[in-house]
Amino acid sequence: MRLWSDEIEELRPEAREAVEKGLGALLGLMGREEPLPEDVHARARAMRKGFERMYAPVPEAQVRKIAGVPCRVFRPEGRPRGVYLHFHGGGMILGAPEMNDPLNLDLCRRFGLAVVSVDYRLAPEHPYPAGPDDGVAVARWLLDNAERELGSARLLTGGESAGGYMAAAVLLRVRDELEAADRFDGANLVFGVYDWGRSPSQRGLRPYAGPDLLEPEGIRVFGECYLPGRSDDERRDPAISPAFADLRGLPPALVSVGTGDHLLDDSLLLAARSAAAGNEVELFVAPDMPHGFNFIPCGITARWIERTQRWFEEILSRPARAAGLRRSRAPR
């Protein structure tokens, strides 16, 4: 089983050099060079303050509440080809939609998508299930109102890191609670956390022990804030950890992760189990690349961007899933 092409293999030396040069600057921008408090809640607040340096708001974003949840909305010129429900990263304790404004604006303009990025509630002030509850509320609103309010009933979802988790968790609840998974045509899941019981890579057992934005202690803090008082086994409840859920009936997905990422195993497990469940899944593995590799320019990142853009175009060029499923279910 090959996880990347010969072309990607040839780009590994350049990628390692780019990571060595770029990751330190990225950590410095986030304030990670400063010592953090011992108390997990105080540590979360300190990390949140540093993370705010990553925000890059753009004036094109419309700020509005959807189902009572603050969101940033981007609208393309003309009728949208679909609506992208986006979730930001930050370990469920950090971050905001503003950190993805430039990328969401590019998706809006490049593919003619309306983009709704959700400012879901964060732990430790709002532990599980507050964040996913907000995501489901916005998804429910889009199912009922997207065509009238935003110009298209066609839905996609995705996110990065904790945002990948949010997209997967919300999709599962849309399937189980709203019986509407067929209304989503695709899921772009970028280095997400899908095993809150701490997969081997989360515990430090990575195939490539290079530098990373994440480390086991930081992941422990995320879990303690988001899922306080639960053991690792309890955190693997399928309602909490998507990698342990019944994955049947989900839309096509692009799952992306680097081998230096402490969340590597989460993506490998989710992608393999989803494919075994009969879903269409593409797995992009970036050798030697860390968590957050989208911020590190190099040849491998460029190939990932190209593949992600092709994936969006391929999904949007197909007939909507819901229409096809309705035809297949029609009486003969």
330 in any annotated domain: no
Rounded CA separation 207/282 (Å)? 21
pLDDT of 330: 39
pLDDT of 82: 98
- Is residue 62 a contact partner of residue 74, using CB atoms and an 8 Å limit? yes
Burial per residue of 209-227, b for 16 or more beta-carbon CB atoms within 10 angstroms, e otherwise:
ebebbbeeebbebbbbbbb
Per the rule left: phi > 0, alpha: psi between -120 and 50, beta: everything else, 196 is alpha
Rounded CA separation 301/3 (Å)? 15
Helices (H) and strands (E) in the chain, counts: 11, 8
pLDDT of 283: 98
Rounded CA separation 290/16 (Å)? 10
332 in any annotated domain: no
pLDDT of 39: 83
pLDDT of 30: 65
142 in any annotated domain: yes
Q: How confident is the chain (332 residues) per 10-residue block, as mean pLDDT? A: 97 97 78 71 81 89 98 97 98 95 98 98 96 98 98 98 98 98 98 98 96 93 95 98 98 98 98 98 98 96 98 97 54 36
- Give all strands of the β-sheet with 82-87 in edge-to-edge order: 62-66, 69-74, 113-118, 82-87, 155-160, 184-190, 253-258, 281-286
Q: Give, in order, the Cα–Cα distances in Å from 228 to each of 49, 88, 127, 234.
A: 22, 22, 8, 11
52 in any annotated domain: yes
Angle between helices 101-111 and 299-317 (to 10 degrees): 50
At 11, is the secondary structure helix, strand, or coil? coil
267 in any annotated domain: yes
Rounded CA separation 190/258 (Å)? 10
Beta bridge partners of 155: 83, 184
Angle between helices 40-51 and 216-226 (to 10 degrees): 110
- Is residue 211 a contact partner of residue 275, using CB atoms and an 8 Å limit? no
How many domains does one find in the chain? Answer: 1
225 in any annotated domain: yes
176 in any annotated domain: yes
Query: Domain holding 37: CATH number?
Result: 3.40.50.1820
* Domain enclosing residue 21, as ranges: 6-318
Rounded CA separation 21/24 (Å)? 7
What amino acid positions are annotated as catalytic residues?
161, 261, 291
Rounded to a whole number of angstroms, the distance between the first and last alpha carbons of the chain is: 42
Beta bridge partners of 254: 188, 282
- Is residue 81 a contact partner of residue 316, using CB atoms and an 8 Å limit? yes
Is the bond preceding residue 124 a cis peptide, omega within 30 degrees? Answer: yes
The encoded tokens of residue 250 equal 């989900």
pLDDT of 33: 56
The encoded tokens of residue 321 equal 């899933």
Q: Please, which residues have CB within 8 angstroms of residue 312's CB and are 6 or more apart in sequence?
A: 107, 110, 111, 113, 156, 186, 188
Scan for tokens 């599980």, then name that residue: 128
Rounded CA separation 120/226 (Å)? 13
92 in any annotated domain: yes
